[in-house]
Amino acid sequence: MEKRNIYAKIPADLSNEVFEVLVQSKKVKIERIVSKGHTSPDTGWYDQEQNEWVIVLKGNADISFENGPVINLKEGEYINIPAYKRHKVINTSIIPETVWLAVHY
């Protein structure tokens, strides 16, 4: 059992978004995502089998929902995305990079 820091060890190479799994169990996956101007997915929509609770801890980002609004998430802001709710990330900050924490459940 060891502590770690969510803001530490930001990869030097952020040419791609970086996904790191912090916890993986049968029931839940917790991950850190670091974005830097990225949008995702490359084409189409995220259309996920699990619910996703996600918070922006650093930077900011815009998430677009199919037939829905664009939601801007600033530092500390979170949202709960139901399974199969189609969405995509249409903007993420570059300075600073965007640090997300996501809980898939």
Per CB under 8 A, 18 contacts a copy of itself: no
CA distance 31 to 33: 6
Nearest alpha-carbon partner for 60 in 79, 40, 30, 36: 36
Least CB distance to a copy of itself at residue 56 (A): 9
**Which of 10, 14, 18, 79 contacts a copy of itself by CB under 8 A?**
79
3 state DSSP class of 9: coil
Nearest alpha-carbon partner for 41 in 21, 58, 67, 63: 63
**Which of 21, 22, 70, 90 contacts a copy of itself by CB under 8 A?**
22
Site for a copy of itself, rule CB under 8 A: 1-8, 22-23, 25, 27-28, 30, 51, 53, 55, 57, 65, 68, 71, 73-82, 85, 101, 103, 105
